[in-house]
Chains A and B, each alone.
Chain A
Amino acid sequence: MLIQLTDIKKVFNQGRPNEFWAIQGVSLEFEPNRVSCLKGASGSGKTTLLSMIGCLSRPTSGRIQLGERVISSLPERFLTDVRRHTFGFIFQRFNLISGLSVLENIMLPAYPLGLPYKRLVATALHLLEQFNLLAKADNPVEWLSGGEAQRVAICRALINDPQILIADEPTANLDSKLSYEFMGLIDELRQSGKTILITSHDPEVFDSAVVDRVVEMHDGVVLT
């Protein structure tokens, strides 16, 4: 699914003294089935841009087109629907919910869809098997190591079988060996047909051979 951004602007605290233009007119296009990386220092607006693409927030002005559909003017109610069917998210600190088991964490994004329970569990177990986590299915997530938590986060992102994966600083909490492994997983996902968007200022990521395209951002505008 092609993602087109046209003149995207995003302002926080509009009309107040601390008004802040996080994104100041960005036009971009992301091809399907590629790995793209948004690179830039923290505060450059890459995360804000990614959250707008991922339907987590709405641009103040501009137009985001996802395939045939314009999503930039959709209210939150409907954005969510687009989001949960199209995007899978991997967050910086993995953001697993502690106290729940690995299996429950993975199934969380599918809860509002109301799939039959057995089918959902089967899908989740299949994913766990794929990522070598089957033995940990019933453990609470607090017991996991960093690498395992990362893989659980990927499983969670994949539970609804999204076309596009969004990873926000995925390697920030990993050592270089685990980061390398992570990029390997990303490569596998790309080969299975997913489109992947990553933000990072980690050279392990944007210099990786897996990444097809690097977009550099600074102060809310695209440099390259």
Chain B
Amino acid sequence: MLLNPAIMALLLVSIVVCSMLMLASGFAIQVLRHWDIESGSERQLGLERRTYLISTLLIWAFSFELMSLLLFIYNAESMSGQFVGAMCATGVLNVNGWGWPTLFLKIAVFFSGAVWLALNYLDNQGYDYPVVKYKYRLLLAILPLVVAEFILQLLYFTNMDPDVITSCCGTLFSSQAEGVAAEVSGLPPRNMMLVFILIGVIVIVSGLRVALRVRGNWFFALLGGAAFVVALMSIVSFVSLYIYEHPHHHCPFCILKSGHDYVGYILYVPLFIAAALAMSVGALSSWRDKPSLTLTVNRVIPRLSWIAVIFFALFYLAAGWSIWASNLTMAEVW
């Protein structure tokens, strides 16, 4: 399956991102070992100049990574015709055991990248590079994620055997099936809906608290992450049912198609942005005590949380609207 152009593009991106991160990590290790902001020596000057390269490399790497997440899903969608019984992206991801882990890793890399870029921005605002060591240690921690993603993706694509009968979303998500995805769709929609609404209200309230008072930043960051997970589970468990107007169609990807007015984008884009911003708020808030950063942190955090709150609100409105506008009534099913 390696000769499919989209697959080649995805592998190319992975290789490029991996090598960019390795290069950056190599530099990061040198920075960690020799960094001395007080010194005016040529080595220190060289290291400071390296930080520009590392930042640029990573900004690009993470934006490529974001695009590859989209491409990965598009590609899964478009390959559904080449597998027996795979009617949509879900079926293609199920072709072998590596599909879902790759997707999850890509999402993880997206969020860690967002947090890293936020830290990088912060670091560039302080005249004594206060976050520099922390930031590069974090980079070293992200590297294995990216490498793992590359390996899993490679395994996923090389182990694709177009003749394997894979389950389409219809059978995969029926409540009898096994596996994570099936368990999610088997969750009782009524309880799921309660949790969904509850966490929505809490996350928005706590976001507003951060935005207005700069209080409870970490709480907001954690809630943002939790809200993200709950939102994904809810989309599989009940939101998608309302969009498809079909009581057993749980697929989280088909809502991205034109047949459903691309409503998936209105759900996913705000959700991802909001969650990434909420997590960044948490990462930034721990640097408030650095004298060179207090000003920046106090200026940036409310701004980020406002945007996060707005996007969370957008997501919940979009989800609420698609449920409200749906012709599906779940009364008999529940």
Residues of A participating in the B interface, judged by any CB pair closer than 8 Å? 12-14, 58-61, 72-78
Segment at the A interface, from B14-22, B37-45, B294-302: B37-45
Q: Which residue in chain B gives the minimum CB-CB distance to A9?
A: B40
Q: Measured between C-beta atoms, what is the minimum distance from A184 to chain B in Å?
A: 38
Q: How far is the CB of A55 from chain B (nearest CB, A)?
A: 13
Establish whether residues A58 and B40, one from each chain, have CB atoms under 8 Å apart when the complex forms.
yes
Tell me whether B48 is interfacial, beta carbon within 8 Å: yes
Instruction: Please judge, given known A-B contacts A61-B40, A73-B40, whether A78 and B127 are in contact too, CB under 8 Å.
Output: yes
Taking a contact as CB atoms closer than 8 A, the residue among B41, B48, B124 that contacts A60 in the complex is B41
Residues in A with CB closer than 8 Å to B49 are: 76
* A136 → B minimal CB distance (Å): 37
Contacts of B37 in A (CB 8 A): 73, 75
Are B40 and A76 within 8 A (Cβ)?
A: no
Count how many pairs of residues, one from A and one from B, have CB atoms less than 8 Å apart in the complex: 26
CA of A58 to CA of B49, assembled, Å: 13
Q: Answer yes or no: B253 CB below 8 A from chain A CBs.
A: no
Contact at B40–A59, with CB atoms within 8 Å? Answer: yes
Label chain B's interface by main secondary structure. loop
Closest to B124 in A: A77
B: interface residue count bin: 10 to 19
Nearest residue in B to A73 (C-beta to C-beta)? B38
B113-139 contact mask (Cβ, 8 Å, vs A): 1 or 0:
000000000001001110000000000
B38, B49, B127, B129: residue with the most chain A Cβ atoms closer than 10 Å: B127
Choose from B42, B127, B128, B129 the contact partner of A14 (Cβ within 8 Å). B42
Contacts of A58 in B (CB 8 A): 40, 45
Q: Which residues from chain A contact B124 at a C-beta distance below 8 Å?
A: 77
Q: Taking the nearest CB of chain A, how far is it from the CB of B85, in angstroms?
A: 56
By beta carbon, the residue of chain B nearest A16 is: B42
Q: Among B37, B40, B45, B49, which residue has the most Cβ atoms of chain A within 10 A?
A: B40
CA distance A72 to B129 in the complex (A): 15
CB contacts (< 8 Å) of A73 on chain B: these are 37-38, 40
Contacts of B40 in A (CB 8 A): 58-61, 72-73
Cα A60 to Cα B39 with chains together (Å):
7
C-alpha spacing A59/B45, complex, angstroms: 11
23 A-B interface contacts by CB (under 8 A): A12-B42, A13-B42, A14-B41, A14-B42, A58-B45, A59-B40, A60-B40, A60-B41, A61-B40, A72-B40, A73-B38, A73-B40, A74-B127, A75-B48, A75-B127, A75-B128, A75-B129, A76-B45, A76-B48, A76-B49, A77-B48, A77-B124, A78-B127
Name the residue of chain B whose CB is nearest to the CB of A61: B40
CB-nearest residue of chain A to B129: A75
Q: How distant is B55 from chain A, measured CB to nearest CB, in Å?
A: 11
